[in-house]
Structure 1
Amino acid sequence: MDLQGELLEHPYSVYERLRDSAPVCRISGTDGAPAWLVTRYDDVREALADPRLSLDKTNAAEGNYRGFSLPPALDANLLNMDPPDHTRIRSLVGRAFTPRRIEQLRTPIRATADRLLDALGPAGSADLVAAYAAPLPIIVICDLLGIPEDRRLDFRTWTDALIVPDPSRPEAAKAAVRAMLGFFTELMAHKRSQPADDLLSDLIAVRDGDGDRLSEDELMSLAFLILFAGYENTVQLIGNAIHTLLQHPDHLALLRKDPSRLPAAVTELMRYEGPALLAIRRFATEDITIAGVTVPAGETVLLSLSAANRDPARFSRPDALDFDRDTSGHLALGHGIHYCLGAPLARAETEIALAALLERYPTLEPVGPAPQWRQSLRARGLKELPVRYAALTGS
């Protein structure tokens, strides 16, 4: 079934149709290779935790969709691993995202948000993706990793080339990969010569102190993944949340009146308009049956997080935004052992970004036609978000 065009333009209406008529169906991936798409909540949640669905590309049969490829120095990351390697590497970086560490980061995150809003000024118009949603997470994740300011390059250009490939520029993705590889090679050399009190220096110490625990490719790939995922998902979370609130002025007014509702609101915003349409592709290690459909060993399975989060069998009135609903079990950032490692940080950044924005600008409204979504089967994010804003007189 060729649904690419429809999914790019109207994902939620297509997912609704598929949940009813073909909850497990064959589609074409971005490279034209086939994959199985799963759309019902119960099936997606169960499959996310099924060890028979592997992230390791060596389990992929020839001719099936595999996602974009990276050189070995960037490809040995958690999104391509199963236990025990996945367990070993995830444990090494997990300490960076503990609740205590995230609480310690809240003050500097808020300071960063305030600086970005200071740059906007008390009134005017701006693209809140370019001016706010994008720079905030890249500053936060670079500070966490210890990446010097003069080395913070245009990551959005690179990630767009991979997540939203341009058919008219087939070499763009390869050029982005080369640029990222060169950046991380130089960065590792820099951190080895000038270690500091940051996560990247800690990971290098693990690698250099005990080579059995972290290979050079694993080290490089882990740094890439933390930066890539920590930036990409959070840009979309913040941008999507702002856009959704602008489309729901009553909900926006509710948060202005009672900011204590922000944590619950962010959870519902994640369910309603999460950062990813699909989880990372998986490969069946044996014949597996999902919703009565047999997926042969080696074939690719795509699990739709956004379709699951809009499944009326799990969430009543799923296409409505409801800050009072029970959102427990939403799948916006995955489920099981591959649940997003940086989820606590992404949630904190989104809460803080919204709080700072709403406190600063009591007048905030969209400008022009409805903003366009990035043309991606996997990611859900806006190309831009033009708004008009104004602070209180004298503030």
Structure 2
Amino acid sequence: METVDLAALGESFTRDPYPVYARLRERGPVHRIRMPEGGAEAWLVVGYEAGRAALADPRLSKNWANASPALPLRSASSGPHMLGMDPPDHTRLRRLVAREFTPRRVAGLAPRIQRTTDGLLDAMLAAPGGRVDLVEALSFPLPITVICDLLGVPDLDREAFRAWSNDAIGATVLDRRRAATEAMARYIEELVDGKRRRPGDDLMSALIHGEDDSGDVLAHEELVGMAWLLLVAGHETTVNLISNGVLALLTHPGQLAALRADPTRLDAAIEEMLRYDGPVETPTYRFTTGPVTIGGTEIPGGGELVLVALADADRDPRRFPEPDRFDIFRDARGHVAFGHGIHHCLGAPLARLEARIAFRTLLDRCPGLALDIHPAAVTWREGLLIRGPHSLPVRVA
């Protein structure tokens, strides 16, 4: 099978990968690719049905212990966590976390999310000329503040952490990835140790000191891995949901006007934002534990790397008619922006809550909201995992 070199496509693919995925989908659901990340090779699954099935296929392991030794990539995590585990380990860990990460705890964050959003909008509206970078002014500080409050780490060095996070999960130069991962590991070890010594009324303390009905508790290395997952995944998805969603609205003025005219469409609009240009292009890695046949193509066993193109699944015309059209009146339910199966994002309700408050407040307080850059000049984050702009200049007044 021909290897499709996505790395060679450069900035044009990073800016708009959807036409490339669509052309691949027309040829079949499985393709051999070369990734931008270090030139590693992988198997890419495109299309809605094939992608959804692959996400739930138990033959595709999330455990890095099952990765081929020849794979040049390594886990970015600081310890074991749910996205790097299979049942029964995954089942146990998710149960322990879900026991503390309750809908009530998430709902209780709404007043704090609103206060934080209001404060950020105050600063945005006071900016000279009403011109700001939305990523710096809102998309990043809102979710990182929320997740730090949730975990009880208000003293997080956010700029350093943001740089480490960006490199650990998005850098295409592998040395940068390794250096960022090591720096994050040291930092998160200190966070967990500090929270163990000084517990509070927060999720991290609950995870450290809590146990389930059978007396099961999280081991130290599991706590470090879970802190990494909650801090990174807990802000990355929402950062790019907000940025990508604002960009979609501002480049589709008719849809923006329709949403302003009928704010009750906000929840539906957020689901369409997730479908149209979601924050995760391909999810974290899967590895074959035996031969897997998809659409007539056999992917060998032995720890072959498999990627599922969430971005393409949600642009498959067999599931979403006219998929390249942004339409807040579309029924976007069933999208896979937050994954599918046992690894469906545990933090999806929190991301939706933050987005709902952010968009409602932004539209209420910024009637003149407009792009301050040509859409083609927006630069996008590298790599196949996270999709979002580096910056998004806007005018808020």
TM-score, normalising length: structure 2: 0.92
- 1:127 aligned partner: 133
Q: How far did residue 61 of structure 1 move?
A: 2.4
Structure 1, unpaired ranges of 5+: 391-395
Preserved contact between residue 78 and residue 90 of structure 1 (Cα < 8 Å): yes
Give distance in 1, aligned partners of 2:214 and 2:268.
42
- 1:356 matched to 2:361? The reply is yes
Instruction: Answer yes or no: is 1:37 the counterpart of 2:50.
Output: no
Distance between the aligned counterparts of 2:184 and 2:192, measured in 1? 12
Deviations 1:45-78 (A, max 9, x none): 011111111101222223246x44347xx23111
Residue in 1 aligned with 2:55? 48
| Contact 2:134-2:393 within 8 A present in 1 as well | yes
Partner of 2:85: 81
Q: Is the 8 A contact 1:134 1:235 kept in 2?
A: yes
SS in 1 for 2:316: coil
Give how far 1:208 is off.
12
Give the CA deviation at 1:89: 0.8
The residue type equivalent to 1:44 in the other structure is G
Q: Distance in 2 between matches of 1:119 and 1:9?
A: 29
Q: Distance in 2 between matches of 1:164 and 1:226?
A: 17
SS of residue matched to 1:213 = coil
| Gapped regions of structure 2 (runs ≥ 5) | none
Mapping of residues 142-161 of structure 1, within 5 Å: 142-149=148-155, 151-161=157-167
Q: Tell me, yes or no, if structure 1 residue 185 matches structure 2 residue 194.
A: no
Q: Is 2:271 aligned against 1:267?
A: yes
Q: How many residues align?
A: 385
Q: Equivalent residue for 1:139? A: 145
Give the share of equivalent positions with the same residue, in percent: 49
Aligned equivalents of 1:379, 1:150: Cα separation in 2: 22
Give the match for residue 218 of structure 1.
Answer: 222
Alpha-carbon offset, residue 209 of structure 1: 12
Alignment map for 1:250-329 (pairs within 5 Å): 250-298=254-302, 299-329=304-334
- The answer to whether residue 385 in structure 2 is matched with residue 378 in structure 1 is yes
What does residue 393 of structure 1 align with?
none
Could you say which residue in structure 1 is the equivalent of 2:8?
5
Distance 1:150 1:321 in 2: 37
The aligned amino acid for 1:350 is A
Q: Shift of the alpha carbon at 1:97?
A: 4.0
Paired residues of 1:333 and 1:340 also in contact (CA < 8 A): yes
1: CA distance between counterparts of 2:310 and 2:100? 25
CA contact (8 A) 2:30 2:43 kept: yes
How far off its partner does 1:271 sit? Answer: 0.3
Segment of structure 1 superposing worse, 266-275 or 171-180: 171-180
Q: TM-score, normalised on structure 1?
A: 0.92
With over 3 angstroms needed to count, the CA separation of the structure-2 counterparts of 1:180 and 1:256, relative to structure 1, is same
Distance 2:282 2:259 in 1: 29
Give 1:31 shift. Answer: 2.5
What secondary structure, in the 3-state scheme, does the structure 1 residue paired with 2:369 have? Answer: strand
Q: Deviations over 1:297-354 (max 9, x none)?
A: 1211110001000000111000001122221210001000000110000011111111
What is the rounded CA distance, in whole Å, between the counterparts of 1:196 and 1:153 in structure 2?
Answer: 24
* Preserved contact between residue 268 and residue 331 of structure 2 (Cα < 8 Å): no
Moved more, 202-211 or 377-386: 202-211
1:78-118 deviations in Å (ceiling 9; x for gaps): 11100111111111111444333322221211111001111
* Distance change >3 Å, CA 211–CA 175, structure 1 → 2: farther
**CA distance, structure 2, for counterparts of residue 139 and residue 101 of structure 1:** 16
Cα separation, 1, equivalents of 2:373 and 2:112: 33
d(CA) in 1 for partners of 2:14, 2:390:
13
Q: Does 1:57 align with 2:61?
A: no
